[in-house]
């Protein structure tokens, strides 16, 4: 096969890629796959493997032999499962509260507010994301202090309620954004059509708006749920004596890495189950 | 209650251990390389078999010899792993600096890394990045048996001669007659209380443990497994029939009693503490009434108005006695010895003790503290004060109180029990 020597090297590469679709695909996918593999799948595999190692309790050295002890321990000890359940409960609470707050807020922003003020409202919703996480949580710690706090006697004190409240504050923008986008993309004519056909506002909301918003809410809930389930700092600051799964990992990783890895499998399982459920709603394709 | 010299039962297992170690190392390499291509299962299968950790504690410590000396010219660099406040180079506060004079005198450039808990100290030191470490008693033995540190030739540390005899040759710094470090200072975990709610100072830990306590809901225990020993200290006084003589040597019955007491306390706890500033604020504001904590916490909280009091209750207390240790095979051995000598010199020891808020190990430093009463306030030389202070020690399965007819609960089970307690 003769090669046209008048072609520049760039042209030649172009031609080659045109002739070989497989090469084209490889070139496009390799960077992403290497990234995914090296920084996501390998660490995940190492985490999984570590959970099945053991530690010499005294010296803290890992012994590299297969042992299901830690995993069995985590999956059969009521205290750990209870912590997992509480963590899921808190994350679900945060998600529910975020939906409750985001729906009217996003509806107002997308449908009621004047066109010109929409970008401003959107910016306002996003501003808290610019402040440091720790500053915000410490502010809530001071706000909710049971004695001498700003709320005084009205404070609920430190505990689960405070944790859910603080996390809701932290993650609300992640719910507002997709819901706002969802409502914005909904055509006003749908609502008009519903009204023309005699639907009351509530019925229109239930049978027209909600089915269309469900994927947006599901997408937002992936953020609020996963961010909450992995959080362990907020609960240290406003949770009183309460603990979440992250605290259990944190408390053990320096003395017993395999055990911490075994505990870390719990949120992994929960998130996997959650994502599979969410996938059914089609939300992931809309992200 | 002296814990007595630990007699390490020697077993002819050295060869066996050597083989085990080799197998582990091989598997370690295999796992690492195989993991990279993602076929973990294969590696696991190859390395299968009982992964249960050998009870190291019956073994003698790894063979090691101390540096023969003489301490010569420094190697130009030293990496220090220390409790916060132990190796200040002026970066926290310009006026607080005993690292720079050392650098100027020896030419050893010092880098400092700090840690918040003994558990993290052991983990960090195990990376091999650090030449010297300030280890509390619940870390030192783990480092010795983990083969991370080398014995220290105290003859090469001139200032060692001045150190209080009360701190030398203790089970947490001396193993098999060999010294593994230089004592640095000590302190007690005190009962801290909010002055406004305590017109008369408390004298007992009872309000932190007993049901129906007036401080219920506003109690702040330490958030670490080693706090189980605090429960044991209280039980030593309240339930003598349990026969606890050393809070770090608990058999199953004693351990269960301590955990039950901690469960009882948990219902009344406001916040477990890990941060001295947070705890100090809580005590000053009244959102906490009673806490286990450090003198440092009270000092920090009392900078404005005096609102937090401290006392060592009649039942006694846990505490710490820290030791500077040297990494095994460090390339900076001369700098390390010079550092050990510098940090317990009267000048440096006085500055550390005063800045951190503890009793210095070198009594000559007492004349150099800015507060002339520092040593008296911290009971540096008042040996009687320390009689019922039980320094942090790593609990091991072989009871360190000398009992040989029972097995004690080891450190990993302390950590597990603590995790369960905190999660329940």
Q: Which residues of chain A are within 8 Å of residue B419 when distances are taken between CB atoms? A: 79-80, 248, 251-252
- Average model confidence (pLDDT) for chain A? 87
According to the model, what pLDDT value does residue A253 have? 80
Confidence grade of residue B399 (pLDDT, cut at 50, 70, 90)? confident
According to the model, what pLDDT value does residue A65 have? 80
Among B271, B394, B418, whose Cβ lies nearest the Cβ of A158? B271
Note whether B413 contacts A57, CB cutoff 8 Å: yes
Q: What's the gap in Å between the CA of B367 and the closest CA on chain A?
A: 39
Note whether A255 contacts B119, CB cutoff 8 Å: yes
Q: What is the DSSP secondary structure assignment for residue B97, as one 8-state letter?
A: B
Whether the CB-CB separation of B190 and B294 falls below 8 Å is answered with yes
Note whether A57 contacts B412, CB cutoff 8 Å: yes
Residue B266 has pLDDT above 50, yes or no: yes
Q: What's the gap in Å between the CA of B214 and the closest CA on chain A?
A: 16
Among A65, A80, A252, whose Cβ lies nearest the Cβ of B415? A252
According to the model, what pLDDT value does residue B35 have? 36
Q: Is A53 helix (H, G, I), strand (E, B) or coil?
A: coil
Q: What's the gap in Å between the CA of A51 and the closest CA on chain B?
A: 12
Q: What percent of chain A has pLDDT over 70?
A: 93
Query: Interhelix angle for A78-107 vs A210-229, to 10°?
Result: 140
Q: Which residues of chain A are within 8 Å of residue B271 when distances are taken between CB atoms? A: 158, 240-241
Residue B420 forms contact with A (CB below 8 Å) = yes
User: How many Å apart are CA A175 and CA A152, to the nearest integer?
Assistant: 30
User: How many Å apart are CA A263 and CA A75, to the nearest integer?
Assistant: 9
Residue A8 forms contact with B (CB below 8 Å) = no
Helix H or strand E encompassing B30: helix B14-36
pLDDT in tens, B197-221: 999 999 999 999 999 999 999 999 9
Beta bridge partners of B110: B78
Note whether B51 contacts A241, CB cutoff 8 Å: no
The mean pLDDT of A14-37, rounded to a whole number, is 88
Residue A240 forms contact with B (CB below 8 Å) = yes
According to the model, what pLDDT value does residue A9 have? 84
Confidence grade of residue A3 (pLDDT, cut at 50, 70, 90)? low
The mean pLDDT of B106-110, rounded to a whole number, is 94
The mean pLDDT of B181-203, rounded to a whole number, is 93
Q: What is the DSSP secondary structure assignment for residue B69, as one 8-state letter?
A: -
Q: Which residues of chain A are within 8 Å of residue B418 when distances are taken between CB atoms? A: 251
According to the model, what pLDDT value does residue B4 have? 35
Query: Interhelix angle for B333-343 vs B346-356, to 10°?
Result: 70
Whether the CB-CB separation of B161 and B136 falls below 8 Å is answered with no
Residue A241 forms contact with B (CB below 8 Å) = yes
Residue A75 forms contact with B (CB below 8 Å) = no
pTM score: 0.77
A residues 125-164 closer than 8 Å to B (CB): 145-149, 158
Among the listed residues A9, A10, A12, the one whose alpha carbon sits nearest the alpha carbon of residue A1: A12
The residue among B419, B420, B421, B424 with the most chain A CBs within 10 A of its CB, best to mutate, is B419
Lowest mean pLDDT across A151-160, A209-218, B26-35, B108-117: B26-35
Strand order in the sheet with B219-220: B219-220, B290-293, B190-194, B308-311
Note whether A67 contacts B54, CB cutoff 8 Å: no
Tokens of B321: 């006695």
Beta bridge partners of B251: B408
Q: Which are the contacts of A183, defined by CB distance < 8 A and separation ≥ 6? A: A106, A107, A110, A111, A209, A213, A216
Q: What percent of chain A has pLDDT over 90?
A: 45
According to the model, what pLDDT value does residue B18 have? 37
pLDDT in tens, B222-243: 998 999 999 999 999 999 999 9
Note whether A65 contacts B269, CB cutoff 8 Å: no
Q: Which are the contacts of B343, defined by CB distance < 8 A and separation ≥ 6? A: B86, B87, B98, B182, B184, B324, B349, B352
According to the model, what pLDDT value does residue A5 have? 60
According to the model, what pLDDT value does residue A17 have? 86
The mean pLDDT of A207-229, rounded to a whole number, is 89
User: How many Å apart are CA B262 and CA B225, to the nearest integer?
Assistant: 11
DSSP secondary structure of B99-120: SHHHHHHH--EEEEEE-SSHHH
Residue A201 has pLDDT above 90, yes or no: no
Q: Which are the contacts of B103, defined by CB distance < 8 A and separation ≥ 6? A: B109, B110
The mean pLDDT of A120-127, rounded to a whole number, is 93
The mean pLDDT of B155-170, rounded to a whole number, is 92
The 3-state secondary structure of A64-95, one letter per residue: CCCCCHHHHHHHHCHHHHHHHHHHHHHHHHHH
| Higher pLDDT, residue A86 or B147 | A86
pLDDT in tens, B283-309: 998 889 999 998 888 888 887 788 999
User: How many Å apart are CA A132 and CA B138, to the nearest integer?
Assistant: 35
Residue A56 forms contact with B (CB below 8 Å) = yes
Whether the CB-CB separation of B199 and B91 falls below 8 Å is answered with no
According to the model, what pLDDT value does residue A10 have? 85
Q: Residue B362 burial (CB < 10 Å; 0-12/13-18/19+)?
A: buried
Residue A57 has pLDDT above 90, yes or no: no
According to the model, what pLDDT value does residue B49 have? 32
Q: Which residues of chain B are within 8 Å of residue A41 when distances are taken between CB atoms? A: 38
According to the model, what pLDDT value does residue B296 have? 80
Q: Which residues of chain B are within 8 Å of residue A49 when distances are taken between CB atoms? A: 31, 35, 40, 43-44
According to the model, what pLDDT value does residue B270 have? 92
Among A49, A55, A82, whose Cβ lies nearest the Cβ of B35? A49
Residue B87 has pLDDT above 70, yes or no: yes
The mean pLDDT of B8-36, rounded to a whole number, is 36
Confidence grade of residue B34 (pLDDT, cut at 50, 70, 90)? very low
Burial A37-64 (b: 16+ CB within 10 A, else e): eeeeebeebbbbbbbbbbbbbbbbbbbb
Tokens of A130: 């610019």
Residue B208 forms contact with A (CB below 8 Å) = no
Q: What percent of chain B has pLDDT over 90?
A: 54
| Higher pLDDT, residue B338 or A69 | B338
Residue B123 forms contact with A (CB below 8 Å) = yes
């Amino acid at each position: 096969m003769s090669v046209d020597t008048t072609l520049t090297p760039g042209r030649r590469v172009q031609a080659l890629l045109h002739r070989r679709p497989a090469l084209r695909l490889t070139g496009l996918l390799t960077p992403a796959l290497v990234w995914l593999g090296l920084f996501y799948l390998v660490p995940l595999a190492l985490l999984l493997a570590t959970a099945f190692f053991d530690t010499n309790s005294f010296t803290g050295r890992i012994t590299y032999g297969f042992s299901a002890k830690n995993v069995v321990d985590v999956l059969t000890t009521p205290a750990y499962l209870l912590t997992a359940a509480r963590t899921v409960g808190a994350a679900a609470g945060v998600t529910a509260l975020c939906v409750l707050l985001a729906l009217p807020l996003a509806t107002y922003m997308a449908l009621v507010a004047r066109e010109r003020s929409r970008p401003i409202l959107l910016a306002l919703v996003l501003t808290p994301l610019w402040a440091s996480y720790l500053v915000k949580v410490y502010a809530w710690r001071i706000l909710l202090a049971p004695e001498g706090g700003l709320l005084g006697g009205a404070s609920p004190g430190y505990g689960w309620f405070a944790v859910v409240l603080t996390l809701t504050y932290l993650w609300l923008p992640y719910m507002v954004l997709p819901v706002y986008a969802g409502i914005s993309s909904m055509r006003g004519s749908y609502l008009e059509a519903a009204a023309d056909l005699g639907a009351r506002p509530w019925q229109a909301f239930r049978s027209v708006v909600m089915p269309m918003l469900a994927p947006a809410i599901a997408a937002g809930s992936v953020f609020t749920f996963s961010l909450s389930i992995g959080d362990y700092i907020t609960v240290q600051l406003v949770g009183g004596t309460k603990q979440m799964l992250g605290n259990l990992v944190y408390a053990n990783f320096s003395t017993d890495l395999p055990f911490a890895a075994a505990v870390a499998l719990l949120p992994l399982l929960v998130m996997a189950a959650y994502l599979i459920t969410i996938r059914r709603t089609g939300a992931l394709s809309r992200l | 209650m002296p814990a007595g010299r630990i007699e390490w039962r020697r077993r002819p297992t050295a060869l066996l251990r050597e083989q085990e170690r080799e197998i582990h190392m091989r598997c370690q390499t295999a796992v690492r390389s195989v993991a990279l291509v993602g076929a973990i299962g294969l590696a696991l299968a190859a390395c299968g078999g009982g992964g249960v950790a050998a009870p190291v504690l019956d073994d003698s410590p790894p063979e090691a010899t101390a540096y023969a000396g003489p301490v010569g010219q420094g190697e130009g660099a030293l990496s220090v792993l220390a409790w916060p406040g132990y190796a200040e180079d002026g970066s926290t506060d310009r006026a607080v600096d005993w690292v720079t004079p050392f650098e100027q005198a020896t030419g050893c450039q010092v880098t400092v890394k700090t840690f918040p808990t003994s558990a993290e100290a052991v983990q960090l030191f195990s990376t091999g990045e650090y030449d010297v470490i300030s280890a509390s008693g619940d870390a030192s033995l783990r480092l010795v048996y983990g083969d991370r540190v080398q014995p220290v030739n105290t003859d090469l540390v001139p200032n060692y001669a001045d150190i209080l005899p009360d701190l030398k040759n203790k089970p947490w710094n001396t193993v098999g007659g060999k010294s593994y470090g230089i004592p640095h200072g000590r302190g007690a975990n005190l009962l801290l209380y909010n002055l406004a709610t305590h017109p008369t100072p408390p004298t007992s830990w009872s309000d932190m443990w007993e049901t129906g306590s007036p401080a219920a809901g506003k109690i702040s225990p330490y958030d670490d497994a080693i706090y189980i020993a605090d429960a044991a200290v209280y039980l030593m006084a309240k339930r003598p029939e349990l026969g606890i003589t050393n809070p770090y040597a608990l058999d199953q019955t004693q351990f269960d009693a301590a955990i039950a007491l901690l469960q009882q306390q948990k219902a009344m706890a406001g916040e477990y503490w890990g941060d001295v500033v947070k705890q100090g604020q809580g005590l000053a504001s009244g959102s906490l009434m009673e806490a286990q904590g450090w003198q440092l916490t009270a000092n920090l909280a009392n900078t404005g108005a005096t609102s937090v009091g401290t006392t060592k209750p009649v039942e006694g207390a846990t505490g710490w006695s820290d030791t500077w240790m040297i990494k095994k095979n460090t390339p900076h051995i001369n700098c390390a010895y010079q550092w050990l000598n510098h940090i317990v010199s009267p000048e440096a020891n006085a500055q550390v003790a005063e800045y951190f808020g503890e009793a210095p190990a070198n009594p000559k430093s007492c004349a150099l503290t800015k507060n002339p009463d520092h040593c008296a306030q911290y009971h540096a030389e008042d040996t009687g004060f320390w009689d019922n202070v039980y320094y942090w020690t790593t609990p091991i399965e072989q009871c360190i109180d000398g009992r040989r007819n029972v097995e004690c609960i080891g450190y990993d089970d302390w950590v597990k029990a603590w995790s369960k307690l905190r999660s329940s």
